[in-house]
Amino acid sequence: MTSMATYHRNFLKILHAIRDANETKVEYLRDVYDRNMYYQESVFITTKGLEIQFMNILTTLTVIDFSNNRFNGQIPEVLGELHSLRVLNLSHNSLIGRIPSLLGNLSVLESLDLSSNKFEGRIPAELVNLIFLAVLNRSWNNLSGLIPQGNQFGTFTNDSYIGNLGLCGLPLSKSCSNQQNLQPQVTKFDEGDDTRELNWKFSILLGYGCGLVLGLSMGYIVFTTGKPWWFIRIIEKGQEKYVRRKIQIRRGGRKQHS
Q: Is the peptide bond before 171 cis (omega within 30 degrees of 0)?
A: yes
Contacts of residue 257, defined as CB under 8 A and 6 or more positions apart, other chains included, come to: none
pLDDT at 220: 52
Model pLDDT, residue 140 = 95
Residue 144, strand partner residues: 166
Handedness of CA 88, 92, 94, 100 (dihedral sign): positive
What is d(CA 215, CA 251) in angstroms, rounded to the nearest whole number?
Answer: 40
* pLDDT tens column, 57-75: 555 568 888 899 888 999 9
Q: Which residues, at least 6 apart from 59, have a Cβ–Cβ distance to it below 8 Å?
A: 25, 26, 29
Helix H or strand E segment including 170: none
User: What does DSSP say about strands 142-146 and 94-97: parallel, antiparallel, or unpaired?
Assistant: unpaired
pLDDT digits (tens, 9 = 90+) for 171-214: 888 888 764 554 433 333 344 445 444 454 445 455 545 454 44
Domains of the chain and CATH, by start: 4-181 (3.80.10.10)
The confidence score (pLDDT) of residue 208 equals 47
Cα angle: 17, vertex 18, 21; to 5 degrees:
90
Is the overall model pTM greater than 0.75, yes or no?
no
- H/E element, 115: none
Q: Could you give phi then psi for residue 28, rounded to 5 degrees?
A: -85, -10
Low-confidence ranges of the chain (pLDDT < 50): 1-4, 24-39, 179, 182-193, 195-198, 200-202, 204, 208, 210, 212-214, 227
Residue 80 near residue 102 (C-beta atoms within 8 A): yes
